[in-house]
Structure 1
Amino acid sequence: MNIRPIENEDLPEIFEIYAQSKLDELRFENRDFELIHLENDTKRWPKIKESEIYVCEDDEILGFGAIFRSEIRALFVSPTSRGRGVGKSLLELLLSKTGGNASLWVTSSNKPAMTLYSQYGFKIVREFFASYNGQDVLVSEMVRRG
């Protein structure tokens, strides 16, 4: 596996990974959500686009992550690539860019992601409701003090 900065030609694969993964992130909510494709998401895409974006690849792109200062704004792994250390590798790279301190937001019902973040020293500092495509979702802000 190789992690590198994103290139413009990677965008279609990034958008596809997001499309395959975003609703999966919300699967524990016990209700249906309609996907907003990343390239059409006027709330999330500008924040990711202004970040440093990295892709993890092994003949194809397996996942991507984005960091802006000390805020991790995205960490998505293709469903077919999960369990291979892609998420951990991306998270470790993103953390190396922060100097140790970092923050992120995760759907509170997404226990697998929260478990991963906890293993890297993240702790919940608050919970609040955010909206995804018009539906409220409980979100945890997690912070890591390095």
Structure 2
Amino acid sequence: MIRPYIPSDISRMSSIWLEASFLAHDFIPRSFWEGKESDMQHVYLPSCLNYVYIEEVTGEVAGFISVNDGFIPALFVAPSMQKRGIGKQLLDYVKRTHAHLVLHVYAKNHQAISFYEKQGFRITEERTESQSGEQEYVMEYP
């Protein structure tokens, strides 16, 4: 089930973000992500429209998507719940209310790039992400 987040979800969302970031972005030091966790909880997530996927058996947040004026700053699924279609469901949920979507993805995150391309996104720009110094792609839908 997908629903709008409630403030009590933020701790779990932040935990998913951190765990999934370590896994998906192993080319960036863990300390980089750890240093951003407080901002994620107190600045980034509260400033976005957030939707959470609730796992049916446990009732826990298993993934989330954040949207800010058509920009998707976050789409993360708990590593133990990946490869079950949760990310696609979250993305499809947001596509229903947004005609145009934009996101950024690290060029080294091949799995995410492939996922987004399968969902109809295309790379429109390549640039250097200022905080990490890593190359990233801007991807747009449709």
Q: Is the shorter-chain TM-score for this pair beyond 0.5, marking a shared fold?
A: yes
Q: Please report how far the alpha carbon of residue 36 of structure 1 lies from its aligned counterpart in structure 2 after TM superposition.
A: 2.8
| Residue of structure 1 equivalent to 2:135 | 138
The alignment yields a C-alpha RMSD, in angstroms, of: 2.0
Q: Please report how far the alpha carbon of residue 38 of structure 1 lies from its aligned counterpart in structure 2 after TM superposition.
A: 4.7
| Residue of structure 1 equivalent to 2:5 | 6
Q: Please report how far the alpha carbon of residue 68 of structure 1 lies from its aligned counterpart in structure 2 after TM superposition.
A: 1.2
* In 1: Cα distance, 2:81 partner to 2:75 partner: 13
- Is 1:105 the counterpart of 2:100? The answer is no
Please give the TM-score of this superposition, normalised by the length of structure 2.
Answer: 0.87
* In 1: Cα distance, 2:89 partner to 2:42 partner: 23
* AA aligned opposite 2:86: V
Question: Is the contact made by 1:66 and 1:72 (CA closer than 8 Å) also made in structure 2?
Answer: yes
Divergent runs of 4+, >6 A: none
Please give the TM-score of this superposition, normalised by the length of structure 1.
Answer: 0.85
Q: Please report how far the alpha carbon of residue 131 of structure 1 lies from its aligned counterpart in structure 2 after TM superposition.
A: 3.7
- Tell me which of 37, 44, 49 is aligned to 2:46: 49
* In 2: Cα distance, 1:54 partner to 1:12 partner: 14
How many pairs align? 138
* In 2: Cα distance, 1:18 partner to 1:73 partner: 11
Question: Is the contact made by 2:71 and 2:102 (CA closer than 8 Å) also made in structure 1?
Answer: yes
* In 2: Cα distance, 1:45 partner to 1:23 partner: 20
Question: Is the contact made by 2:10 and 2:45 (CA closer than 8 Å) also made in structure 1?
Answer: no
Percent identity, please: 25
